[in-house]
Amino acid sequence: MLEATKTILDVENIPLVEISFMNDTHFEEVGIVKNLSKLVSVYQEKNSHTDDEMTQISQALNGWLDHTILHFKRENELMQKTEFPAYSVHSDEHEIALKKMKTMIQAWEQNQDIELVAEYIFTLWPAWFHQHVNTMDMMTAKFAKINGFVEGN
């Protein structure tokens, strides 16, 4: 499972879209998740944990959440700017994904069950991310490009 996950998470395996700032955000996110994956793997291998180790995971998860909030916000703004017709479909996917991420983090903070975090990071999120970038983000970027969106403006 871990090997398959690593394949999905490799930067070169993320589908590229036609807008650079979106690709850059996706690359950054994979970096964040790789770092978290290491922390979680180390945590899973030990039988007892210090408060510092738990805090480190909490901080990394909350940093990822902040990054994700900005990621989705910028894409939603791009869709609004370019009047992307499927705005609500794409932004709804963001909303649902954000809720799941928040629920996972809250569960971690309440009971420190690393297996729930591991399932999310190694299985649920990579599948979601790959599928989302390959469909919603891909269409959004293509539409923006065709409709004359120029980055930096």
Q: Which stretch binds Fe ion (CB under 5 A): 34-42, 43-51, 96-104, 137-145?
A: 137-145
- Name the residue nearer to Fe ion (CB basis): 23 or 37: 23
With 0-12 CB in 10 A as exposed, 13-18 as middle and 19+ as buried, what is 120? buried
Instruction: Tell me the C-alpha distance between 112 and 108, whole Å.
Output: 5
Binding mask 54-93 for Fe ion (x = CB under 5 A): ---------------------x------------------
Say whether residue 29 binds Fe ion (CB under 5 A): no
Pick from 60, 97, 137, 144 the residue near Fe ion by CB under 5 A. 137
**Sequence-ordered list of residues with C-beta below 8 angstroms from that of 35, at least 6 positions apart, any chain:** 60
Report how far residue 8's alpha carbon sits from residue 62's, in angstroms, rounded to the nearest whole number.
22
Instruction: List interacting residues with Fe ion (CB under 5 A).
Output: 75, 136-137
